[in-house]
Structure 1
Amino acid sequence: MQTSNISAPIAKRDPKILVTHGDQRIDDYFWLKEREDPEVLAYLNAENAYTEAVMANTKEFRETLYTEMVARFKQDDQSVPYFENGYWYQNRFEEGAEYPFHTRKKGTQDAAEEIILNVPEMAKPHSYFAIGSKSVSFDNRYLAFGEDTVSRRIYTIKLRDLETGEFLADEIPNTTGAAIWAKDNQHFFYTAKDPQTLRGYKIFRHKLGTSAEADIEVFHEADETFDVGVGISKSKKFIVIASQQTITGEYLYLDAATPEEAFTIFAPRVRGLEYDIDHFGDRFYVRTNLDAKNFRLMYCGEDQTTQEHWQELIPHRADVLFENMEFFQDYYVISERKAGITQLWIRTWSGQNEHYIPFEEEAYLAYVGINPESDTELLRIGYQSLTTPNSTFDYNMQTKTFALLKEEPVLGGFNKENYRSERVFVTARDGAQVPMSIVYHRDFVKDGKQPLLLYAYGSYGYSMEPYFSSARLSLLDRGFAYAIAHIRGGEEMGRHWYDTGKLLEKKNTFHDFIDCAEWLIANHYTYSGNLYAMGGSAGGLLMGAVVNFRPDLWKAIVASVPFVDVVTTMLDDTIPLTTFEYDEWGNPNEEEYYHYMKSYSPYDNVEAKDYPAMLVTTGLHDSQVQYWEPAKWVAKLRLLKTDQNPLLLHTNMEAGHGGASGRFARLKETAREWAFVLDLAGKVSSEE
């Protein structure tokens, strides 16, 4: 990697004074927010050119990595089919294709294939293309689906007549992409997005053959801290509207057979009361935190749904987080988390034959898959671990037996026996026990000298699982260990794990990550001269914070679509997600929260000091973390940092938060990230 003879772009400084609660901040790069300004685009393109120039020595190596990762894919692959309402549904890829065909077969898997969406053909005119939710009408005739061609997660709902193959004239822009059919096969409900903030804020009813302008608004969520969506119960009897914020929820419901009637509030919102509902048989089931930090399961009748009518089915447990539920004719399945690992608990309505599904590995990810049919003893589940590729099983809840339907093929000589994984607990500075998952090649030597990449997220209560990645093998096979720190801010250890990693306790997230890094060094997995860190989105905030707190600890940082300008973003309620997230980060219009988030906001805490090498990535059309946050951060770092380490910004000018849309195209982005750390670890020159 060469920087000494290449001039880095220098963003112009145009100071803007920002004053809040009498506190003054000066933002030299506020002007980078102007997305359409030719000067902004020129700067981003100059940064891209600089990144390419600095990484020129890795160009062939990146292609090697990309080819290697693609070669692990079975290109003519297909998903495991699932049965719903008389049809078997499946996605399949053809050789070399970036996008799949969406198909179905009537009655049996031996029936003729019907292509319901030819995504390779649909994607041809677009540099980015994504299909959102798909929904088939009850009579199996009409398909509604969401289409995004910009990568801002703003979907246009389109319809196809599956009998004639014709696409209908009905098109509905600015939605979440999900359409929920009523039983008359003529109406469906959808969520509209606020054009400015992109918040789901209205629910509409659409009738086939009419224009979007004629759609009927059935619900408007006026509270800007709530986000709204629409779905259908497992029983298919009720359409449900969910209006939720970080710590509060409210549901409304409507009989799917009477779509033109009004929705009924299930239980009025109460701040701090969270609940989710489903319906099965003649009851509603309620997952709630009512007097239950880790949630419990309640039930009530169809006509008596308010809180005073809820009766307990599964009580609260202090050491178990109740996460989800799935209902069948004779069984119901509870997804719960204990000591950071998901457990699947099979329960029966009769009280007989209850048990947990046994899994052999110490650390793994198990989850309930697609189970649209209820009159069955078979539970579709997914399973993977750091060393086991994603696998799909049918688990017989009566006989307690597994039928493996598919293990994702990993070509190129992959053998899971060549890799080792560990699950350890790190004592954080305040005594908390932080889980950490580690994987490496069996030849990895714990001599304190080897390269290691430490990854984490740590926000929104999102638990980071010990998942399998075939792309990660390109690191492990070159001597890297890879560790996932399950830090506070997620929910791995229960609801308290989330509560003590947000708002005025957010710094626990950063301290946990640093403490995990120091544990890895103390236990001879690596040393600071060969320790790399990576995180994306809110995990990019983590990267920005730890690189300010402990820049000496890292050889390099990879920050993907990083949320780094916390104070300015959270003060701007026109930006997508801001108002919805006050209960995550705090509302800086309140002085206490303002000063706390300013104390860790990466952009506000850049200093004149040495920083490690850094690769920062973003997308011009990102709807979640606007591109200007990482762009401003890099500009300020380049102005103030006192080292000569590489500082690179790459902006995908055609994509958003999730990066490229094709199954292979996104691997080019991974190849860039892997090449960056492998080059710094001295693993590139040896291969050239």
Structure 2
Amino acid sequence: MTIENIAAPVAEARPSVRSHHGDDVEDRYEWLRAKDDPAVTAHLEAENAYTEARTAHLAGLRGRIFDEIKGRTLESDLSVPTRRGDWWYYGRTVEGQQYGIQCRAPLASPDDWTPPELSADAEVPGEQILLDGNIEAEGNEFFSLGSFEVTNDGNRMLFGVDVAGDERYTVRVRDLVTGETLPDEIPGTFAGATFSPDGRHIVYTTVDDAWRPDTVWLHELGTPVADDVTLFHEPDERYWVGADFTRSDRFLVIGMGSSITTEEWLVDADDLRSAPRVVWPRQEGVEYSVSHAVIDGEDVLFVLHNDDALDFELVRVSASDPEGERQVVVAHQPGQRLLGVSTFRDRGVIGYRRDGLEQLGLLDYATSAITELAFDEPLYAVGMGGNPEWAPPLIRLGFGSFITPGTVYDYEVATGELLLRKRQPVLGGYEPADYAQARVWATAQDGTQIPVSLVWKRSFGEAGEAPRPLHLYGYGSYEHSIDPGFSVPRLSELDRGVIFAVAHVRGGGEMGRQWYEDGKLQAKRNTFTDFVDAARHLVAEGYTSPDRMVAEGGSAGGLLMGAVANLAPELFAGIVADVPFVDALTTILDPSLPLTVIEWDEWGDPLHDADVYAYMKTYTPYENVRDGVTYPKILAVTSLNDTRVLYVEPAKWVARLREVGADALLKCEMVAGHGGVSGRYNAWRERAFELAWLLDTLGVAD
């Protein structure tokens, strides 16, 4: 029996009817939503067995790719230390161990700002192991650290752990002087719990039944969790809530936001039980964020906002009267999207995006002048690194590109020099000069120019000289940008002659806020047609051919994959859809499901608006699978405990695809979350599985 003749699982048809706005839709597979139903578990396990049987011939290739990833990775390594208080904090990985180890070592002196150069082969003087993820994970198939922080005095540590993949973390506290784990234990928290500046309290958030972070709590160490104080509760289901302290430790900032509206409140850090005070009252469609500084002895707030400023403006206001006079620091410039501002005692750092690339600039408080940092690659990604100190002479940042491994720099403010602290080691003789990267432009149906970023290995010839196997990635939602970053697993493709490409479609944020606006709500179809037009451009210009191109996207990018499979199945040999949002209309119609209500700002509200319902119905992948169409091969990967995109969506989609004769595989991790399996070796095996399928589909001989 050939692998094509192995019988696929057939999901039982149990028709139910969804009725909205006078439209009745029969859904034969909605019963798969019953996660605790033994029949559902049996079906998912049958899907996994089928996928394993259908891909058994790739076991050798999977093993080789895993070995390549492992062989290129320095398994025993240390991160660049970050200074906080009297210590250098860093992470350590050890060969053969799945999880990282959090460590610290004492400063040489109070004036020590040069991080020590650490080696896995040499003992670190005074090293303390704070948290060994391998020990904490013992006895669990899944382990994720959602909170980790040490008090300012360095004496206590909190850590939040999820062992199911559902992103509910139990926070515990450890005394770093005695090594004792304190009785304080806070279950069911969201990620990001933090100590108060004095180390006496923990601020954390919890979620409602729809998995929305809605309440901020204050826990006093040594007291029962039942006595914890509610600092803030947001009843509006459209808003998520979070809280963190300013770098200055002057304020706790409680922020709440939907996709289009934000509001922030301040609490004095030295009186956390005092009433929060609003910075700017929420205004529908206005987003803003605040950062605290002290200038000429006055508490001021830098506010980044989009009130009559599409690509955002930066203003300065008094912290005591934030609704008073606004001093413009960086005026709105159409096409230059301001992303964020970080404030330190003596200066600020502004992040922004211009011409599709991230930029960083130092802000002079006295003159509002910006000194832009320059980088010499045509494509790259750059951003702030760990900078916990209030008055550092150095600014930590991270840099990388398709061909430059992740790099840590310290920017020396006094000299303007970029000090290289570490570049991700890539073993096996990797040479950046062996690879090339470029950006090309595809023309969309309406004439819009769509940027497409490419990377390839030079020894196979220049991209575009002759059709080559090509891996096209896309996302295109939530103003999230897919920036050119380095990937060790990707080398296993490039070294086999595959071109990797990213289509920066509308709905993302690469080209400014309007780029996002033009790919959401009633303009959402632009995201899908842009991707198709990018693929057609790559074929027309000779980079590839339809039988040698595989598309990939995950989460909302999985919706993109499902949509393009319906729109242009003839363009692709295969599609990889990771945790794909492919039953979007069913999900967005149900406000009891995680994330639904807040998602109405992104997709529209089909529950109450018949026009939105009709528009979403034209593109939601599950409902638009077509008869009489030859679909590309499809690999859908999901996780049983994913709380963001439920496993039922790809399960239903694959069942429907099989009805029309599509060659579709479903792989469901039975103990994992939205980010997939935990542990680096498990993650490498997972990616090796996907890449082996992708290369096989591309016809790339190993």
TM-score when normalising by structure 2:
0.95
Structure 2: distance between partners of 1:448 and 1:34: 49
Q: Is the 8 A contact 1:557 1:614 kept in 2?
A: yes
Following superposition, the deviation at residue 374 of structure 1 comes to 3.1
Count of residues in Structure 1 that have an aligned counterpart in Structure 2: 680
1:592 aligns with 2:615: no
**1:508 shift after superposition:** 0.5
One-letter amino acid matched to 2:618: S
Using the TM superposition, give the Cα deviation of residue 384 of structure 1 relative to its aligned residue in structure 2, in angstroms: 0.4
Question: 1:82 and 2:74 equivalent?
Answer: no
| Deviation (angstroms), 1:185 | 2.3
Q: Cα distance, 1:275 vs. partner? A: 0.5
CA distance in 2, matches of 1:181, 1:128: 26
CA distance in 2, matches of 1:606, 1:183: 55
- 2:291 and 2:227 map into 1 onto residues whose CA distance is 30
Which residue of 2 is the match for residue 618 of structure 1? 638
Deviation of residue 398 (structure 1)?
A: 2.8
1:602 and 2:621 equivalent?
yes
- Identity of matched residues, %: 42
Tell me what 1:553 maps to.
571
CA deviations 1:538-568 (Å, max 9, x no partner) are 0000000000000111000000000000111
Give the superposition deviation at 1:396. 1.5
Establish whether residue 273 from structure 1 lines up as the match of residue 281 from structure 2. Answer: no
Amino acid across the alignment from 1:497: W
User: Matched residue of 1:135: which SS?
Assistant: strand
Counterpart residue identity of residue 129, structure 1: F
Change in CA separation of 1:10 and 1:352 when aligned onto 2, cut-off 3 Å: closer
1: CA distance, partners of 2:695 / 2:392:
49
SS in 1 for 2:193: strand
Partner SS state of residue 144, structure 1:
strand
d(CA) in 2 for partners of 1:119, 1:126: 11
Query: What per-residue deviation string (whole Å, max 9, x for no partner) do you get for residues 95-121 of structure 1?
Result: 211111101122235650111112111
1:669 aligns with 2:689: no
Secondary structure class of the residue paired with 1:48: helix
Partner of 2:655: 635
Match of 2:128 among 114, 123, 129: 114
1:137 maps onto 2:151 in alignment: yes
1:354 & 1:559 partners in 2: Cα distance?
42
Cross-structure match for 2:308: 291
CA distance in 2, matches of 1:597, 1:512: 17
Cα distance in 2 between the residues matched to 1:145 and 1:494:
37
Bigger shift: 284-293 or 625-634? 284-293
Matches within 5 A, 1:375-394: 375-394=391-410
Report the counterpart of residue 486 of structure 1 in structure 2: 504
- Match among 259, 262, 267 for residue 272 of structure 2: 259
* Structure 1: distance between partners of 2:284 and 2:319: 24
- The CA distance in 2 between the partners of 1:463 and 1:561, in whole Å, is 18
User: Is 1:499 matched with 2:514?
Assistant: no
Match of 2:139 in 1: 125
- Name which of 173, 196, 220 aligns with 1:207: 220
Q: Which runs of 5+ in 1 are unaligned?
A: none
Amino acid corresponding to residue 562 of structure 1 in structure 2: P
Alpha-carbon shift at residue 377 of structure 1 (Å): 3.0
Q: Is the 8 A contact 1:145 1:178 kept in 2?
A: no
* Residue pair 1:157, 1:178 contacting (<8 A) in 2 also: no
- Which SS does the other structure have where 1:559 is aligned? strand
The 8 Å contact of residues 532 and 564 in structure 2, kept in 1 or not, is answered as yes
For 2:672, give the aligned amino acid.
A
SS class of match (2:282): coil
Cα deviations by residue, 1:573-624 (Å, 9 ceiling, x for unpaired): 1111111111000111211111111100000101112101111100000011
Shift of 1:177: 2.8
Structure 2 distance, partners of 1:339, 1:184, is: 43
Could you tell me how far apart the structure 2 residues matched to 1:157 and 1:525 are? 51
> Which residue does 1:538 correspond to in 2?
556
Report the Cα distance in structure 2 between the residues aligned to 1:666 and 1:183, rounded to whole angstroms.
Answer: 36
The letter for the 1-side match of 2:410 is D
Query: Which residue number corresponds to residue 177 of structure 1?
Result: 191
Aligned: 1:333 with 2:349: yes
Give 1:448 shift. 4.0
Q: 1:554 and 1:121 mapped to 2: Cα distance? A: 45
Which deviates the most, 362-371 or 170-179? 170-179
Partner in structure 2 of residue 682 of structure 1: 699
Q: Deviations over 1:502-543 (max 9, x none)?
A: 000000100110111011011111001111100000000000
Partner of 1:280: helix, strand, or coil?
Answer: strand
Matched, 1:403 2:394: no
Give a deviation string over 1:330-350, Cα, whole Å, max 9, x none.
322111100100111122223
Please give the root-mean-square deviation of Cα atoms over the aligned residues, in Å.
1.4
Q: Amino acid of the residue matched to residue 618 of structure 1?
A: T
Deviations 1:231-290 (A, max 9, x none): 111211100110100110111111111122221122211111111011111211111001
SS in 2 for 1:178: coil
Contact kept in structure 1, 2:469 and 2:549, CA below 8 Å: yes
1:91 equivalent to 2:110? Answer no
Instruction: Confirm or deny that 1:562 pairs with 2:580.
Output: yes
Where does residue 657 of structure 1 map in the other structure? 674
Structure 1 Cα separation of the partners of residues 700 and 538 of structure 2: 21
Q: Which whole-Å CA distance do the structure 1 matches of 2:42 and 2:356 have between them?
A: 46
2:662 matches 1:648: no
Contact 1:180-1:239 at 8 Å conserved across structures: no
Q: Deviations over 1:283-342 (max 9, x none)?
A: 111110011100011111121012x43321111001200001122333221111001001
Structure 1 counterpart of 2:589, from 565, 571, 574: 571
Q: Corresponding residue for 1:216? A: 229
Report if the CA contact (8 A) 2:330-2:368 is conserved. no
Q: Match for 2:258 among 245, 263, 270?
A: 245
2:243 equivalent to 1:227 = no
1:137 Cα deviation from its structure 2 partner: 2.1
Greater Cα offset, 168-177 or 460-469:
168-177
> C-alpha separation between the residues in 2 aligned to 1:63 and 1:457?
29
| 1:52 match | 52
- Residue 59 of structure 1 aligns to a residue in which SS? helix
Instruction: Confirm or deny that 1:302 pairs with 2:319.
Output: yes
Cα deviation, 1:188-217, whole Å, max 9, x if unaligned, reads 2110111x2111011111011122222111
Tell me, in whole angstroms, the C-alpha distance in 2 between the residues paired with 1:2 and 1:618: 26
8 Å contact from structure 1 (residues 156, 177) kept in 2: no
Q: Provide the C-alpha distance between the structure 2 equivalents of 1:554 and 1:354, rounded to a whole number of angstroms.
A: 45
CA contact (8 A) 2:194 2:202 kept: yes
Instruction: Tell me the distance in 1 between the aligned counterparts of 2:685 and 2:585.
Output: 33
Q: Distance in 2 between matches of 1:353 and 1:564?
A: 47
Pair 1:16 & 2:16 matched? yes
Q: Secondary structure at the match of 1:422?
A: strand
Structure 1 counterpart of 2:119: none
Normalised TM-score (structure 1)? 0.97
Q: 1:352: how far off?
A: 8.9
* Alignment match, 1:168: 182
SS at match of 2:398: strand
Q: 1:183 to 1:443 in 2, by over 3 A?
A: closer
**Helix, strand or coil at the partner of 1:443:** helix
Amino acid at match of 1:600: Y
